[in-house]
């Protein structure tokens, strides 16, 4: 047991050492640490009653000041307070949607790669169908049918964004199952479950991790777009803030403090996840190290 623990620690240390060598990945990780800490500490440092339009104390559409560092919205609510609480909704939906997409894509990809013949053909036709359909349009339709709420938005994004993951995992599964030790496992009596969980899954896990990190970025963009189009989770999020600024003509009236903060937050977090995902791809895929 001690040898296994030592190997795991050595592997983690090597991973962290190689990841630190990716400067862009470290920049992305720093941004994510700040964003996640802000989301986690917001309930401890701020009062959510300020989000209630009936309890707003600021002047409507007021520019930044000492009392309201990022200005106020059309109801007199603090933009900074909305940004902080909105980070919780946007990040939560992004993480949960990517997790759901990862689970579906991994299960479908491994199953399609392991079982040949008609099971693989059926799963790949379903995957192709989801790849062809516009993800945003399908998510918008599902959100409209199922109604509002965080769980609905997570479900709508998760079930419409797994297809690309499934194709990647299937290709990797085919490569893994062609290796000699997998063939030996079958000859020695290893069943389908044993091969998929003991041999295939550990080998595709690095690809799943890197792809999931990139999926979070796409999920946040999709959630923001859905919120902007009116299919939000019923809570303050960065996308719903952009919708509010658009409805109240913040751009035409010059109220930049209502538009820029949520927009910059979306861009920064999406860029951070993308940088981390690309860095993970380089670290976990030896063939890319020379390219970076």
Structure tokens that stand for 162 in this block: 């797994």
What is the residue extent of each domain of the chain?
19-45+78-289
Packing angle between helix 79-114 and helix 256-284, nearest 10 degrees? Answer: 30
Q: Give the pLDDT of residue 167.
A: 92
Kindly give, in sequence order, each residue whose CB lies less than 8 Å from that of residue 256, ignoring residues fewer than 6 positions away.
250
The topology under which CATH files domain 19-45+78-289 is: MetI-like fold (1.10.3720)
> Above pLDDT 70, what percent of the chain?
95
Quick: pLDDT tens for 46-87: 888 888 888 888 888 888 988 889 999 888 899 999 999 999
Q: Give the pLDDT of residue 74.
A: 87
Quick: pLDDT tens for 135-189: 788 888 887 787 767 888 888 888 888 998 999 999 989 888 888 888 887 777 7
Q: Give the pLDDT of residue 33.
A: 95
pTM: predicted TM-score of the whole model, two decimal places: 0.86
- d(CA 39, CA 84) in angstroms, rounded, equals 6
Contacts 24+ apart (CB under 8 A), 7-10: none
SS3 193: helix
| pLDDT band at residue 210 using 50, 70 and 90 as cut-offs | confident
Q: Give the pLDDT of residue 109.
A: 93
Residues β-bridged to residue 78: 72
Percentage helix, strand, coil for the chain under 3-state DSSP, each rounded to 5: 80, 0, 20
Q: Give the pLDDT of residue 1.
A: 46
Most confident range (mean pLDDT) of 29-38, 140-149, 234-243 is 29-38
Q: Give the pLDDT of residue 79.
A: 92
Average pLDDT, the chain: 86
């Amino acid at each position: 047991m001690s040898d296994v623990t030592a190997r795991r620690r050595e592997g983690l240390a090597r991973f962290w050492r190689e990841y630190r060598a990716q400067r862009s990945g470290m920049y992305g990780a720093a941004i994510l640490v700040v964003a996640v800490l802000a989301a986690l500490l917001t309930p401890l440092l701020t009062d959510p009653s300020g989000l209630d339009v009936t309890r707003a104390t600021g002047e409507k559409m007021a520019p930044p000041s000492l009392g309201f560092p990022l200005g106020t919205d059309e109801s007199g609510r603090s933009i900074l307070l909305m940004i902080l609480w909105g980070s919780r909704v946007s990040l939560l939906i992004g993480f949960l949607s990517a997790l759901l997409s990862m689970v579906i894509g991994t299960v479908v990809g491994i199953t399609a790669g392991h079982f040949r013949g008609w099971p693989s053909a059926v799963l790949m036709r379903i995957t192709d169908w989801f790849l062809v359909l516009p993800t945003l349009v399908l998510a918008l339709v599902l959100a409209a049918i199922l109604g509002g709420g965080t769980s609905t938005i997570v479900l709508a994004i998760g079930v419409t964004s797994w297809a690309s993951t499934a194709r990647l995992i299937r290709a990797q599964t085919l490569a893994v199952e062609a290796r000699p030790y997998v063939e030996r496992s079958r000859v020695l009596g290893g069943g389908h479950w044993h091969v998929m969980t003991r041999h295939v899954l550990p080998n595709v896990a690095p690809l799943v991790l890197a792809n999931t990190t990139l999926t979070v970025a796409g999920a946040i963009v999709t959630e923001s777009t859905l919120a902007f189009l009116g299919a939000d989770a019923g809570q303050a999020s960065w996308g719903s803030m952009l919708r509010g600024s658009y409805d109240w003509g913040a751009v035409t009236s010059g109220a930049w403090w209502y538009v820029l903060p949520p927009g910059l937050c979306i861009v920064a977090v999406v860029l951070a996840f993308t940088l981390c995902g690309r860095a993970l791809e380089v670290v976990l895929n030896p063939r890319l190290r020379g390219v970076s």
